[in-house]
Chain A
Amino acid sequence: MEESALKLALHEAGYVAEAGLVTTLWFAQALERPVLLEGDAGVGKSAVGGAMARVLGRRLVRLQCYEGLDLPQAVYEWNYGRQLLAIRLHEQDRSGISEHDLFSQEYLLERPLLAAMASDAPVVLLIDEIDRADEAFEAFLLEALADFQITIPEIGTIRARHRPLVVLTSNATRELSDALRRRCLYHYLDYPSPEREIAIVRTTLPDAESRLVEEGVEFVQRLRREDLQKTPGIAETLDWIRALHHLKLKALPEDPESILRTLSCLLKTRDDRFQMSAEHVRRLADGRDTGVAVSSA
Chain B
Amino acid sequence: MEAQPLQAIAGFASYLRDAGFAVGVAEQRSMVSAALILSPADYQRLEAGWRSLVCRDATTWHRFPEVFRSYWFPDRLTGQVRVSGHTRPRRDLRDAVAALHRSMATDAERAATPGDAQVGGEQPADSAPPVERAQGGASRTEALEQRDFTRWLPQDLGRLERLVEAIAQQLRRRLLRRRKRDNQGQRLDLRGTLRASLKTGGIPFEPAWHARRRERPRVFVLVDVSRSMETHAQLFLRISRAFVGALDARVFVFHTKLAEVTPLLRRDSGRIQEKVNAVTAGFGGGTRIASSLGEFLDVHARRSMTRASRVFILSDGFDSDPDEDLRRQLWRIRRRGARIYWLHPTIERPPSAAVTNAADLVDAFAPVHNLESLDRVRLLVE
Q: Which residues of A contact B (CB under 8 A)?
A: 3, 19-20, 23-24, 27, 30-31, 33, 35, 38-40, 67-68, 78, 80-81, 84, 171-173, 178, 181-182, 185-188, 227, 292, 294-297
Contacts and interface: CB of A to CB of B under 8 A. Distances in A.
Nearest to B37: A30
Contact of A188 (B26, B55, B303, B328): B55
A186 B48 contact: no
B331 A186 contact: no
B52 A24 contact: yes
B58 A297 contact: no
A171 B49 CA distance: 22
Given A81-B198, A188-B57, 20 more contacts: A20-B48, A23-B48, A23-B52, A24-B52, A27-B34, A30-B37, A31-B37, A38-B61, A68-B181, A172-B58, A173-B304, A182-B27, A185-B52, A185-B53, A187-B52, A188-B62, A292-B328, A292-B332, A297-B334, A297-B360
Given A38-B58, A294-B328, A297-B331, A84 B201 contact: yes
Interface string B328-352: 1001101000000000000000000
Contact of B22 (A80, A178, A296): A178
A5 to B, nearest CB: 14
Contact of A31 (B30, B45, B304): B30
Contacts of B56: 178, 181-182, 186
A68 B293 CA distance: 35
Interface residues of B, number: 35
A30 B48 CA distance: 14
Interface in B39-66: 45, 48-49, 51-53, 55-58, 61-62
25 contacts: A20-B48, A20-B52, A23-B49, A23-B52, A27-B52, A38-B57, A39-B58, A67-B180, A80-B198, A80-B199, A81-B198, A84-B201, A172-B58, A172-B304, A173-B304, A185-B52, A186-B52, A186-B53, A186-B56, A187-B52, A187-B61, A188-B62, A292-B332, A294-B324, A296-B360
Contacts of A297: 331, 334, 360-361
Given A30-B37, A81-B198, A188-B61, A172 B303 contact: yes
Contacts of B53: 27, 185-186
A292 B294 CA distance: 12
B33 interface: yes
Contacts of B334: 297
B327 interface: yes
Contacts of B331: 294-295, 297
Given A68-B180, A297-B334, A182 B51 contact: no
A31 B53 CA distance: 11
A256 to B, nearest CB: 24
A182 B304 CA distance: 22
B52 A181 contact: no
Contact of B199 (A19, A24, A78, A295): A78
For the complex of A and B, the 5 pairs showing the least CB-CB separation, nearest first, are A23-B48, A188-B61, A185-B52, A80-B198, A24-B52
B45 A23 contact: yes
B153 to A, nearest CB: 33
A24 B49 contact: yes
Contacts of B304: 172-173
Contacts of B181: 68
Interface string B97-120: 000000000000000000000000
Contacts of A80: 198-199
B353 to A, nearest CB: 16
A185 B361 CA distance: 41
A173 B305 CA distance: 10
A30 B45 CA distance: 14
A20 B64 CA distance: 13
B271 interface: no
B151 interface: no
Nearest to A78: B199
Given A30-B37, A80-B199, A186 B49 contact: no
B302 interface: yes
Nearest to B336: A229
A24 B62 CA distance: 15
Contacts of A27: 34, 37, 49, 52-53
